[in-house]
Structure 1
Amino acid sequence: MKNILIIEDDKAIADIEKDFLEIEGFRTVIAADGMEGLRLALTESFDLIVLDLMLPGINGYEICRTIREKTTIPILIVSAKDEVTDKVRGLGLGADDYIAKPFSPTELVARVKANLAQYERLSQQDAPGRHEIQAGPVRINRLTQRVYVNDHEVDFKKREFELLLFLVSHPDMVFSKEELYERIWGMDALGDLKTVAVHINRLREKIERDPQHPLHIQTVWGAGYRFRL
């Protein structure tokens, strides 16, 4: 049975998260303030953390940063702060996923399951290869920064590699051009959002069988891009 830590100061929301997760067979523990949540996260054994951002004692950003320095377990942020900069900051500090309040409890459960499955998949891949990720036809060695498509090595420039690695590491998650630009090029970088579209097209040319009809790096119209396995 998987253990989930819920760090949430709103009792009604915490109880909803707890009830829906336990119906699905998860064991849950609730921490109602930041200090207690951080203490539990660092001293107890959990498989995933559901984390609010606005907390008494210590905020979720600091909790996320501190946890990520100690462990690689999935962190799923659930927060009323739903601006792009909030999402980018959370993901930049090491969170694996982000859901804005109000949210659907069934979506929360689905995201928890998806992140646990992704973590287990990466852990299994890391056991023999340590630094490799396999996603569809793409195999990435994070240590050597080499990319193989259908077992043939393909050259990637630095930003291309970083963008591909980020998308592959978050399968099925949709990221806007703004989120990708700020995550890969940096919030203070000077440039144009067209840079994202240009790099997406370059990735498609290198990994897709038919770049005009991509199977893996997909456009979600009006929302952004996602990587499908």
Structure 2
Amino acid sequence: MEQTHTTHQGAATPGAQRRVLVVEDDATIVEAISARLRAEGFLVQTATDGPAAVEAAEAWQPDLMVLDVMLPGFDGLEVCRRVQAQRPVPVLMLTARDDETDMLVGLGVGADDYMTKPFSMRELAARVHVLLRRVERAALAATPRSGILRLGELEIDHAQRRVRVRSEDVHLTPTEFDLLVCLAGTPRAVLSREQLLAEVWDWADASGTRTVDSHIKALRRKIGAERIRTVHGVGYALETPAS
């Protein structure tokens, strides 16, 4: 059930074309996404069911996955769990339902972003570029920024990109970590959704405010709801212990 459209193998190297694994069981959607991403300069491989997706991810080591939730074999959430257990991979999840529960579950198992069908190929390509830029930027930033930020029982280790709450490790996706670091940069200060979109997602417009809200909800579930304050109509702030 798997189709391979490139001979490139192995891990990414500087200057190499980046690899995107597209996992979708609808042939029309697969071809449309693949054609657009190839036009953008990516190497593309496709899989049409859960088991083939996990196998392709392990063998081909993609730089990013575009992953549909509803798949034969087992669903995209299980694919995401298994792939992320092997190695961290940015995941853009596709869902046919505008259901926030599905979105939160997807973010909880390691997805970095999601899109609800129907969507434009132009927007999908833009999201892929943004996710890859963020991963590259995070890798560059990790080396010089080596300190550990402590905010009460919350610890953020920039160098290792690790978070602890009450000395217990908390697994965050790359996007959740970047979002937390952004909020922690100015503790107690309210950051608007538009600011967060620009800083964390590199989006220049406000079309993704629901993305921010969903990621905030997922982050709250992991570090504690009381640690992120909502200012209705404005944005969010990271709470810190009273001094």
TM-score, scaled to structure 1: 0.66
Query: Is structure 2 residue 30 aligned with structure 1 residue 14?
Result: yes
Alignment correspondent of 2:167: none
Alpha carbons of structure 1 residues 70 and 174: separation in structure 2 relative to 1, 3 Å: farther
Contact 2:100-2:214 within 8 A present in 1 as well = yes
Alignment correspondent of 2:221: 186
Contact 1:9-1:55 within 8 A present in 2 as well = yes
Contact 1:126-1:132 within 8 A present in 2 as well = no
CA distance in 1, matches of 2:128, 2:220: 28
Alignment correspondent of 2:75: 59
CA distance in 2, matches of 1:182, 1:14: 30
Contact 2:230-2:237 within 8 A present in 1 as well = no
Contact 2:50-2:71 within 8 A present in 1 as well = yes
Contact 2:49-2:71 within 8 A present in 1 as well = yes
Alpha carbons of structure 1 residues 33 and 171: separation in structure 2 relative to 1, 3 Å: same
CA distance in 1, matches of 2:65, 2:215: 24
Alpha carbons of structure 1 residues 202 and 119: separation in structure 2 relative to 1, 3 Å: closer
Alpha carbons of structure 1 residues 44 and 131: separation in structure 2 relative to 1, 3 Å: farther
Alignment correspondent of 2:93: 77
Q: CA deviation at 1:88?
A: 1.1
Match among 95, 105, 114 for residue 130 of structure 2: 114
Letter in 1 for 2:51: M
Alpha carbons of structure 1 residues 130 and 32: separation in structure 2 relative to 1, 3 Å: farther
Contact 1:9-1:32 within 8 A present in 2 as well = yes
- Alpha-carbon displacement from aligned partner over 1:175-194 (angstroms, at most 9, x marks no partner): 3786356323339x999xx9
Alpha carbons of structure 1 residues 81 and 129: separation in structure 2 relative to 1, 3 Å: same
Letter in 1 for 2:220: W
Match among 59, 62, 79 for residue 43 of structure 1: 59
Letter in 1 for 2:117: K
Question: Any unmatched runs of 5+ in structure 2?
Answer: 1-16, 150-155, 165-179, 191-195
Alignment correspondent of 1:126: 142
Secondary structure of 1:196's match?
Answer: strand
CA distance in 2, matches of 1:6, 1:116: 15
Give me the CA root mean square deviation.
3.9
Aligned length: 185
Letter in 1 for 2:230: V
CA distance in 1, matches of 2:45, 2:235: 41
Alpha carbons of structure 1 residues 61 and 23: separation in structure 2 relative to 1, 3 Å: same
Contact 1:180-1:196 within 8 A present in 2 as well = no
Secondary structure of 1:186's match?
Answer: helix
Q: CA deviation at 1:203?
A: 5.0
Q: CA deviation at 1:123?
A: 1.1
CA distance in 2, matches of 1:55, 1:148: 34
Q: CA deviation at 1:127?
A: 3.5
Contact 1:6-1:49 within 8 A present in 2 as well = yes
Match among 116, 119, 130 for residue 100 of structure 1: 116
Query: Is structure 2 residue 231 aligned with structure 1 residue 197?
Result: yes
Q: CA deviation at 1:148?
A: 9.3
Letter in 1 for 2:90: P
CA distance in 2, matches of 1:54, 1:82: 13
Match among 162, 172, 175 for residue 210 of structure 2: 175
Contact 1:140-1:148 within 8 A present in 2 as well = no
Contact 1:181-1:196 within 8 A present in 2 as well = no
